[in-house]
Structure 1
């Protein structure tokens, strides 16, 4: 609809020949402006001196829902105002226009004809006639909905990132705070277990203490892992995964648990490689096999079947076990943490470690990891029938085997060289633990310091063979100590071992990049620490 005067408007009278000669040019310019106004995205409105609408372009109809016939002769403020419109902003705009001044890109909330609120940027300018009086107003409404939506989404993402950072910080602090006491419990119980003079009852009590501590540590790790999986902050490195190899590793890891209940594990079928993260696939299969063994009747069989999907480029791993089953209403609860399923009763003679240490966390993590790898994990069961888990993953085209798992170290004290060790740790119980550990190694000279200042001074002065350094110290950071030591020629190549309750992968990587040779998470695995120290060569008299 062009910029054509309304029929009630009086014709233009030409007083001079010059005006008559200029008329064709003015008409051509008007046609060009009409075409331009019809095609722009902004709503353009022409009003008379009383600000009643004379004309509006098609964009006005698209934005407000009013046609020119609906709007002609009516006030723009009357049409687009609504419950969410700021009345004071409208009053200020009217006062500004009444003074003969213009308004540029004034944001305000308008309303569509259907009542929907919408944000616009409002521009209005009065047009002054030769007489000096205002005889027209031109208004432009710019749709801000896309911009406001983008701003809302941006703010929502910022809020989510802040919430995620706070959650990660809380989890890190929780993990750090709990690992300190656990380090003392596990460490001293390991030391007592090494004492050959301990009675049978004492050894059994120590085993119970260690099992409870390991369960608590396991639960803590699972909680942090589940939170990271829910927040999509877990690293995901997709590659070709040989599922048969990973299944064998999972069964081998739980062979001892299966042997206790005389349960047979059977692997059958073949399938192509999956496109997934091998570490996460192994975590899922370990949880499924562990669950199946824990709920299979004594002397029963756990079946692990591999197959390719008959219609889709997918691979399936099914883990089945006989038992009491569970009603369909409880199927989904298996993937919820801290939600035990009453229908799954443990059979006589089975280990209680499976569920007590896990509290449903393992299956919840497995379910989330499968989703993160563009896969799924489902369960089918019924009362009195077998229970079957199905892991569904994308199919890859080539095989890539994984390395065989390494064997665990036996529980014995390795021989240590004559080492001079400095231990920097602010927690007195943790210092006592390390001191108790080396009481059985008279060849080791140990010095302990509670602060980074004292520890750094002792290391630079005494030049020990190895330094054990806590990361979080009251007067500084173990990372800063490491940087300082690596910057001096005398300590540049000294073995540095970080001992910390901070188990976040990013923080471990940061410590290793800073210059630590090893990073041991509390509770400290004493056997691993001793194994590392057994490889350290004492420094000579000249410090080399």
Structure 2
């Protein structure tokens, strides 16, 4: 018995220990802070409110036990909605409130639902609630247990996921919209060249539907399948292909030239997925390129023809200049000889000579204006723009134009500068423009009228105005003012003119970056103005100019006599040079009619100066110069070009090949004599330096 009793005692102890353990576990679970446990009686009044419920809802147990039901801490609107849904589900009317929370559980149906709990502070949170009916040992209903968990985190995750899903759908829609709205045919293929997606442009290009295209080989839709397949391989090898030309063929046979551009694409793990390609229709561009190429050929041909015509025009003008200047040289040269010869011409002869000279110099001016205009239009006019003094140029112009003004009884008024004024321009061309404007102001003025020149600053430019008191111009005449050869109805007047001077002036000013204009009032007069870019005064070194050579006085008897060789094929020109040289007792003249003979005479006579025409029969002047330069005996003799080739490029070329000076026909006597004196001085200095002897005596 004692053993039995002991055994029963031990069993009882173990049973009690198990009960205590189970009770401790149940208490621990019931009082867990991670979920709320709310127990009610059959009427719904809260009997137990655990720690988890206190933490979640903010109420103390004493605040709710035996005072309220779980319905009082639930969202009332959700309660109404739940009652409505349950009534429809179970086909029985259910009252909103606690009954709606426990109705299923009261009938033995497992019930888990979502609702919003309202905290003591009025805030709310989503909860998942599991409801269980509580029964005693006799299976009688004694209450309900509501276990709830905070569903905020899951709800937030679900909301974020929903937003993410929506963004993903939006992005997919946006991406698809971009693909479909693209003007190019877009497509993707797998690495083997099988189409995996296309846009509507690809459908239009091939004449096939999207379903028909996906899964088909890319190469099947081109006239050259091998070249198309090679394009995919090229992309896979190089990761990119641009402007690869293919010809697509549609189901109906239509062919379209496309520019194929493609690149490889990968997933997020950098695993190759295939090729993304764009095919742009360039059929029209190909036609345009071909048409443009043909047009370019035509343009090049037209440009070449224009250049040839321009060259022929320049050659013609140069030739015309020479042909006109040669006889004009004789006319003006002999007229000057007669005018200054001994005995002096009679008054009637003097009047005739004056007419010859006036007409000759006017003809020369006309030739120069035509050549200037042709040079400007051909773009071959070269300008030397630098800082130049308006004070000096206007002073030169006043001296040059004063005789014309005096002869026409016109009063001139030039500005007095308080300080020097400088503009950036070509001095020679500015003087040419000013003289033209002054000459016109005098020529078309009234007898006893006046011309006023003024200057003023306008921004970064200097405006030079030429005001006359002439008849003025009507608006319709002003519109025609700068047209070539248009004299505005003055053709029958006594005033000479060509209608070219203003055109040349306008284009010269514009080439120098300036502007020219006019304002005129009928019966009052006109104001022509020129605007040039103002600049700073040049440095001191730039202002120092070498003195121009002046003509030497004839040498008295007994001084050295120098030898001049003139190589000229025109008898009249040669006679003119002979008579000019005859006026100098210190000079003797030798002559030759062609270049070869001129070189021979130079070798034997060793003259001090050589006058050389350029256009000579056989050996021309430039070739003769080169022959003389090769021999030590003649290499040091100064050679002066005397030619009717008066184009600026002719003069530049002549000085470049080695002429000491370049004189253009018609000859100006003072300039001619000054050039000979300068050449003689150069030859004497060179000879003395070479031989180390005193100056040479008479030959």
SS across alignment from 2:663: strand
CA displacement, residues 450-474 of structure 1 (integer Å, 9 cap, x when unaligned): 1111111111011122222111111
Selected match of 2:316 from 162, 170, 175: 170
Counterparts of 1:62-461 in structure 2 under 5 Å? 64=284, 110=287, 118-120=288-290, 145=292, 154-197=300-343, 198-268=345-415, 273-309=422-458, 312-342=459-489, 355-356=495-496, 358-398=497-537, 414-415=554-555, 418-441=561-584, 444-461=587-604
Question: Structure 1, residues 348-395: CA drift from partner, whole Å, max 9, x if none?
Answer: xxxx6xx52x41222111011111122221112132121011212233
Question: TM-score under structure 2 normalisation?
Answer: 0.57
Task: Give the 3-state SS of the residue equivalent to 1:284 in structure 2.
Answer: helix
Does the C-alpha gap of structure 1 residues 193 and 51 become closer, same or farther in structure 2, counting only changes over 3 Å? same
Q: Distance in 1 between matches of 2:631 and 2:656?
A: 17
Higher helix share: 2
Q: TM-score, with normalisation over the residues of structure 1?
A: 0.71
Q: Does structure 1 conserve the Cα–Cα contact (< 8 Å) formed by 2:387 and 2:535?
A: yes
| 1:56 Cα deviation after fit | 5.1
Taking the aligned partners of 1:442 and 1:55, their CA distance within structure 2 comes to 89
Once the two structures are overlaid, the 10-residue window that deviates more, 533-542 or 331-340, is: 533-542
| SS state at 2:521 partner | coil
Distance 2:377 2:484 in 1: 12
Partners of 1:150 and 1:507 in 2: CA distance: 34
Give 1:512's match in structure 2, choosing from 649, 652, 655: 655
Structure 1 counterpart of 2:70: none
> Per the alignment, do residues 206 and 27 of structure 1 end up closer, same or farther by CA in structure 2, a change over 3 Å counting?
closer
- Taking a change above 3 Å as real, the CA distance of residues 521 and 159 of structure 1, as seen in their structure-2 partners, is same
Q: Is 1:52 equivalent to 2:236 in the alignment? A: no
Given that residues 517 and 528 in structure 2 are in contact (C-alpha distance below 8 angstroms), is that contact kept between their aligned partners in structure 1?
yes
- Structure 2 residue 675 is matched with structure 1 residue 526: no
Q: Give 5+ residue unaligned stretches, structure 1.
A: 15-25, 66-108, 111-117, 121-143, 347-351
Counterpart CA distance in 2 for 1:404 and 1:294 is 34
Counterpart CA distance in 1 for 2:329 and 2:697 is 36
Distance 1:418 1:398, change over 3 A: closer
- Is the 1:421–1:444 contact (alpha carbons within 8 Å) kept by the matching residues of 2? yes
Partners of 1:259 and 1:13 in 2: CA distance:
100
1:2 to 2:186 alignment = yes
Partner of 1:99: none
Measure the CA separation in 1 of the matches of 2:453 and 2:404: 16
**Paired residues, number:** 446
Pick closer, same or farther for the CA change 1:42–1:375 going to 2, 3 Å.
farther
Q: Deviations over 1:262-302 (max 9, x none)?
A: 32222348695333223222221111111112222233221
Write the distance in 2 (CA, Å) between the matches of 1:478 and 1:210.
29
| Contact 1:327–1:343 (Cα < 8 Å) also in 2 | no
Q: Rg: which structure is higher?
A: 2
Q: Which residue does the alignment assign to 1:463?
A: 606
CA distance in 2: counterparts of 1:261 and 1:293, whole angstroms: 7
Counterpart CA distance in 2 for 1:55 and 1:409 is 79
Residue 398 of structure 1: how far off its partner (Å): 4.2
Once the two structures are TM-superposed, the CA of residue 182 in structure 1 deviates from its matched residue by 0.6
In 2, Cα distance between equivalents of 1:284 and 1:330: 21
Q: Distance in 2 between matches of 1:59 and 1:468?
A: 76
Distance in structure 1 (CA, Å) of the matches to 2:230 and 2:342: 110
Q: State the shift of 1:62 in Å.
A: 6.1
Following superposition, the deviation at residue 219 of structure 1 comes to 0.5
Question: Structure 2: how far apart are the matches of 1:343 and 1:380?
Answer: 19
Contact 1:246 1:402 in 2 (8 A): no
User: For residues 316-365 of structure 1, what are the alpha-carbon distances to aligned partners after superposition, in whole Å with 9 as ceiling and x for unaligned?
Assistant: 1111111211111111433233221237997xxxxx6xx52x41222111
Q: Distance in 2 between matches of 1:245 and 1:11?
A: 87
What's the C-alpha RMSD, in Å, of the aligned pairs?
3.9
SS in 1 for 2:480: helix
What are the ranges of 5 or more consecutive residues in structure 2 without an aligned counterpart? 1-184, 188-197, 199-205, 218-228, 260-277, 688-694
Considering Cα pairs closer than 8 Å and 6+ residues apart, tell me whether 1 or 2 has the greater RCO: 1
Shift of 1:254: 0.6
Which whole-Å CA distance do the structure 1 matches of 2:554 and 2:696 have between them? 25
- Say which SS state the counterpart of residue 645 (structure 2) adopts: coil
Take 2:257 and 2:582, find their aligned partners in 1: how far apart are those partners? 96
Tell me how far apart the structure 2 counterparts of residues 506 and 186 of structure 1 sit (CA, whole Å). 24
SS at match of 2:635: coil
Deviation at 1:30, TM superposition (A): 8.2
Choose which of 634, 644, 651 in structure 2 pairs with 1:501.
644
Question: Do 1:274 and 1:315's aligned partners in 2 also have CA atoms closer than 8 Å?
Answer: yes
- Structure 2 Cα separation of the partners of residues 238 and 52 of structure 1: 64
Provide the rounded CA distance (Å) in 2 between the counterparts of 1:217 and 1:331: 28
Shift in Å at residue 414 of structure 1? 4.0
The partner residue of 1:491 within 623, 634, 643 is: 634
Matched residue SS, 1:213? helix
Q: CA offset at residue 434 of structure 1? A: 2.1
- Specify the SS of the correspondent of 1:335: coil
8 Å CA contact 2:561, 2:698 repeated in 1:
no
